Amino acid sequence: MASAVPSIARLNRLYDRATSLVALGVWECDLDTSALTWTNGVYQLFGLSPLIAPDRAATVELYHEESRREMEALRAEAIATGRGFVLDARIQTVSGVERWMRLTADVEHDDGRPRWLYGAKQDITEDRARIDRLRDLAERDPLTGLANRGMFQAAFYDLSETLFRARGLSALILIDLDDFKQVNDRLGHSAGDECLRQIAARLRHLFGDAFLVSRIGGDEFAILLNAAVDRDELMLRLGKALAVLRFPVFWRGKPVDVGASAGATLLACEDPHDPVLRFGEADAALYLAKADGRGTARIFAPDHSVQPVATSVAAAAALRSPRGWASTPSLGLVRQVGS
């Protein structure tokens, strides 16, 4: 009579067939040697041959830069704490095909020390495309196409300490249009909407390298930078941005004067991630910029000292103020709103 207990070989075949239905594979990493053990599903995910032993360094290079930083940060945290993680990572196969992968990981210990990482990797490319389409509807501002307040909340307020460090966020900028209510009052809300669309397009261009450009209120915008930037570089970028934002927008072929003020705070990866505090710093800087007569920008610093206002882009770039309030002017490149 045939045995009621299936053989190991049959169980392995069953596992391979079942996991192939959901593009899933399992993996293990020996933390002493970095040797990897994969099932067929992982080889297929990366487009690699199962006849060649996988190499961790080469595999990590198949992650896109941001996903690689996040994975390495979560991996280090898992080894240090013994807690697993789940990460949706963007990868590229050896033949250049873009994919999204859900990485699930946990830690196995031996004599009280972390000895192996193990888990599953699943191709979620199609699911991610569907989710992204739904997310665009939920997290995009329908008027401007920028990220909305909910997306800003998720990207900044809801960010874990580990991912904050991994993403390398360097500055938070708040921009508020000056006297925008007058545009609505004089020309109507249709003109105001067109003004917001054109300003949003300028911000998207000015901060094309930003982690996030979002509209968080009626005429309020928030920008998260993740490129390395110091106080002088940020001051220069803000000055240039305000100069561009002060060019008139056009409504029915006629120019409409606009302007903006900005407040910013620098974010340091080595500091604790305190989004409420950091937003308050940028908001305080914006408040002082508005109080200065608008059309200006200020950068927060802990001692709240004041740096004299520069009078040109060159002067703004030349300012050297390691501490204190750094202030940029309206730069005089285009006329003031209402002048």
Distance (Å, whole) CA 171 – CA 282: 9
Contact 224, 172 (CB under 8 A): yes
- The active-site residue out of 123, 176, 178, 219 is 219
Is residue 219 part of the annotated active site? The answer reads yes
Distance (Å, whole) CA 12 – CA 16: 6
Contact 151, 140 (CB under 8 A): yes
Distance (Å, whole) CA 322 – CA 27: 48
Distance (Å, whole) CA 62 – CA 90: 9
Element (H or E) spanning 21, and its range? helix 8-21
Q: Is 287 exposed, middle or buried (0-12, 13-18, 19+ CB in 10 A)?
A: middle
Distance (Å, whole) CA 159 – CA 156: 5
Catalytic residues: 219
